[in-house]
Copies of this chain bind each other. A is one copy, B any other.
């Protein structure tokens, strides 16, 4: 009944139900989703772990060229759960294409270096596999069109794995937005403010810190992620900040992002770090890091809200996703868990702590799944990502975060690069739905959905 109502709603709404290819779906009463993982580094193994905990998932194969660490660690994890050893695809960067040729895989989880996400997801769709794709920004705007076109031409949907949409406080705030606590939304902020200097540099052995190596001499993320800071200047990592506020403002579902401009500060933090930890004689002291230390992006929406994103990863600072959700009746601010609601907050013009609101508006998903989520990665958020992906496939239901969301959110990166490159110029944001946003309805974490 709940499910029928939901599917009816989404179909009525012209949602992307047709993007699930019926030929690969299951009639069985207790279907299992057969999964391959492309990329089983630290992040991929987090998803692997969550898959292994589920009775409704079979892990069939894993692809990763790192046979020293990623592959054996994954197989050990699989063995620990008493599951069948996964078939390995380790012969270089392109061996994932052979994984995609298998006929016993329904879906793939892509947790690879950023520049691989879109080509691998397109290859998966062309091979009839449903991809779940990790977060990042696109390297080129055309990639965002290419992935939309691939989804539409193959009829295979795509799941965008933005875990922060499932953060417990973020979901409570989404609940408050939907219940009108903040009135009509006006201004939202988000971002990625995270001192990543010990992620961008390490000693080539441990994942975090201990040296100033990156690229070929680096390990884990330093191996590939840091180069984006060498060669690019823009908001390189927009989705953690944008995804949650996009859900609150119904982006691509009755609203859309229309334009942005980005400004970047000078670049100092990464060079300073190399100098202080490696000395002036270290070869990396000569590297010219293009990424401005703080990139601020102002986004406008069709419905008249503004969204400001901050990308701030090269400097010493406390971690913060910079959330602010402000409407005509009040506002919530991530930093210091602060809220003010007119007529409810005890003292006019004064913040109160958000604790009571977080309890009162705790999202039904968190109430229902708290025990399963506890212990999953990133404070439980990662559980919901995998759960939503798998449950949607089992129910043949549209994904709550789909290819249009991925294209829109990923696109912020190349568009912000262009804006920064033009001194902060105004840039239009394409409508990747080609007008469907006017009729699509919000489906993310609806109370009646149950997953």
Of chain B, the residue at the smallest CB distance from A184 is B268
Q: Which of A259, A315, A335 has the most CB of B within 10 A?
A: A315
Q: Which chain A residues in 272-331 approach chain B with CB under 8 Å?
A: 272, 293-294, 296, 298, 300, 303-306, 308, 312, 315-319, 326-331
Q: How far is the CB of A196 from chain B (nearest CB, A)?
A: 11
Q: How far is the CB of A289 from chain B (nearest CB, A)?
A: 13
* Binary flags per residue of A416-430, CB closer than 8 Å to B gives 1, else 0: 000000111110000
The answer to whether B308 touches A317, judged by C-beta atoms less than 8 angstroms apart, is: no
The answer to whether A259 touches B424, judged by C-beta atoms less than 8 angstroms apart, is: yes
| A373 contacts B by Cβ under 8 Å | no
B contact residues around A71 at 8 Å (CB): none
Q: Give the interface segment out of A26-34, A150-158, A336-344.
A: A336-344
B contact residues around A187 at 8 Å (CB): 265, 293-294, 296, 312
Q: How far is the CB of A116 from chain B (nearest CB, A)?
A: 29
B contact residues around A259 at 8 Å (CB): 423-424
Count residues on chain A whose CB falls below 8 Å from chain B CBs: 51
| A350 contacts B by Cβ under 8 Å | yes
| A186 contacts B by Cβ under 8 Å | yes
B contact residues around A265 at 8 Å (CB): 186-187, 304-306
**A316-B330, A317-B331, A326-B317 given; A306·B264 CB < 8 A:** yes
B contact residues around A172 at 8 Å (CB): none
The answer to whether B298 touches A316, judged by C-beta atoms less than 8 angstroms apart, is: no
Of chain B, the residue at the smallest CB distance from A187 is B294
B contact residues around A329 at 8 Å (CB): 316
**A338-B336, A342-B316 given; A268·B186 CB < 8 A:** yes
| A195 contacts B by Cβ under 8 Å | yes
B contact residues around A300 at 8 Å (CB): 263, 423-424
Q: Which chain A residues in 159-192 approach chain B with CB under 8 Å?
A: 183-184, 186-187
Residue in B186, B261, B335 whose beta carbon sits within 8 Å of that of A294 in the complex: B186
Alpha-carbon gap, A259 to B423, bound state (A): 9
| A351 contacts B by Cβ under 8 Å | yes
Residue in B294, B340, B426 whose beta carbon sits within 8 Å of that of A423 in the complex: B426
The answer to whether A306 touches B294, judged by C-beta atoms less than 8 angstroms apart, is: yes
| A3 contacts B by Cβ under 8 Å | no
Alpha-carbon gap, A269 to B182, bound state (A): 12
Alpha-carbon gap, A414 to B369, bound state (A): 52
The answer to whether A319 touches B349, judged by C-beta atoms less than 8 angstroms apart, is: yes
10 contacts between A and B (CB under 8 A): A183-B268, A187-B312, A261-B426, A265-B305, A266-B304, A294-B306, A296-B306, A318-B340, A318-B351, A335-B336
Which 4 pairs across A and B sit closest by C-beta, in order of nearness? A266-B304, A316-B342, A187-B294, A186-B265
